[in-house]
């Protein structure tokens, strides 16, 4: 079978929009499934299909009409309940590969919280007989100023009960989108079936973030800013070691496939550092 060239992207937000644009730069055929009918600049040639994610018949129709080979889900945590339904439609429409909404830290083997939900969904999709490709990127570098309160006081704010010495993976959204588009359009389908990709722009512990951003660490009871609870969740997970894309949740240790072990697949690409993203030239 030849390489994939027809895609459906579910969602056109922070993750979905850049992936859509990256695919169009590869001259791929792309249709975006979205719950909103509002106009978004998706690029030339991209089709938009406003749709109810629970309407299996409608999803099947769109996928068949556009001869979609690969479905890429970019649904956020609040939309994950719809992912299995979309996968069922993908199976019925003859889709060859499903990319579940990961785009974060490794979830395989997780037993609690949102990570377990993601892992369970991926396994359900596989149980349908639809191969998956999972992308682990760690944390989007663009979120560093929010997650660590840097936007508020220009400090790296670390919860006072944490050491902050475990390495985490940070990857720019541009690199994530570009990598996804690159491997999905250049690798042979057999290389993509049931695959796991672990990428990394730069590794850094919470403590190491401070000198990278020319600042100091502030020990706090609560991370300043509007997303303090989410920040605490991320920081606590990083403290376990789970912030690395090389993490194996089942064993609670680094896996044999190290953080960034898939970077080589994008030959010649310059991966953006944390400073590249936060202090663009």
In the chain, where the domains are located: 6-137+173-198, 139-170+201-246+273-278
Cα–Cα distance list, 122 to 109, 128, 156, 205 (Å): 11, 10, 34, 29
Asked if residue 140 has pLDDT above 70, the reply is: yes
Q: What is the C-alpha separation between 23 and 6, in angstroms, rounded?
A: 9
pLDDT band at 146, cuts 50/70/90?
very high
- The CATH number, out of the four listed (3.40.50.720, 3.90.190.20, 3.10.20.310, 3.40.50.300), of the domain defined by the range 6-137+173-198: 3.40.50.720
For residue 159, the cross-strand partners are 220
pLDDT at 37: 64
- What's the mean pLDDT in 110-124? 95
Cα–Cα distance list, 125 to 26, 89, 171, 207, 256 (Å): 27, 11, 26, 38, 25
pLDDT band at 255, cuts 50/70/90?
confident
Asked if residue 241 has pLDDT above 90, the reply is: yes
Q: What is the C-alpha separation between 3 and 16, in angstroms, rounded?
A: 21
The structure tokens listed for 229 are: 């609870």
Per the model's pLDDT, the better-predicted residue between 154 and 45 turns out to be 154
Phi-psi region of 20 (alpha: psi -120 to 50; beta: other; left: phi over 0): alpha
Q: Reduced to 3 states, what is the DSSP secondary structure of residue 83?
A: helix
Q: What is the C-alpha separation between 200 and 182, in angstroms, rounded?
A: 15
**Quick one: which H or E segment has residue 48?**
strand 47-50
Return the closest-CA partner of residue 245 out of 170, 191, 195.
170
Q: Are strands 202-204 and 168-171 parallel, antiparallel or unpaired?
A: antiparallel
- What's the mean pLDDT in 153-169? 98
Beta carbons within 10 angstroms of residue 65's beta carbon: 12
Beta carbons of 213 and 156 less than 8 angstroms apart: yes
- What's the mean pLDDT in 195-200? 98
Q: What is the C-alpha separation between 185 and 265, in angstroms, rounded?
A: 12
Q: Taking each helix axis as running N to C, give the angle between helix 16-25 and helix 173-186, from 0 to 180 degrees, rounded to the nearest 10.
A: 50
pLDDT at 2: 79
């Amino acid at each position: 079978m030849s390489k994939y060239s027809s895609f459906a992207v579910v969602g056109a937000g922070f993750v979905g929009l850049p992936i859509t644009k990256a695919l169009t730069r590869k001259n791929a055929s792309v249709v975006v499934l979205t719950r909103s009918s509002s106009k978004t600049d998706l690029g030339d040639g991209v089709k938009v299909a406003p749709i109810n994610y629970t309407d299996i018949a409608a999803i099947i129709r769109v996928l068949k009409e556009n001869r979609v080979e690969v479905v890429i889900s970019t649904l956020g945590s609040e939309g994950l309940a719809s992912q299995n339904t979309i996968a069922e439609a993908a199976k019925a429409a003859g889709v060859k590969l499903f990319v579940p909404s990961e785009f974060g830290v490794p979830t395989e083997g997780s037993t609690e919280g949102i990570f377990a939900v993601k892992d369970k969904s991926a396994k359900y999709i596989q149980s349908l007989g639809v191969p998956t490709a999972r992308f682990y990127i760690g944390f989007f570098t663009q979120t560093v100023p929010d997650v660590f309160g840097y936007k508020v006081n220009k400090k790296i704010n670390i919860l006072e009960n944490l050491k902050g010495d475990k390495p985490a993976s940070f990857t720019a959204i541009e690199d994530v989108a570009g990598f996804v588009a690159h491997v999905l359009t250049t690798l042979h389908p057999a290389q993509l079936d049931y695959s796991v990709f672990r990428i990394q722009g730069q590794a850094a512990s919470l403590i190491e973030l401070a000198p990278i951003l020319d600042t100091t660490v502030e020990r706090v009871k609560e991370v300043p800013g509007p997303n303090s609870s989410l920040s605490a969740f991320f920081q606590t997970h990083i403290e376990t070691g789970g912030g690395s894309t090389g993490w194996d949740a089942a064993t609670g240790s680094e896996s044999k496939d190290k953080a960034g072990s898939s970077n080589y697949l994008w030959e010649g690409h310059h991966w953006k550092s944390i400073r590249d993203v936060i202090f663009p030239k």
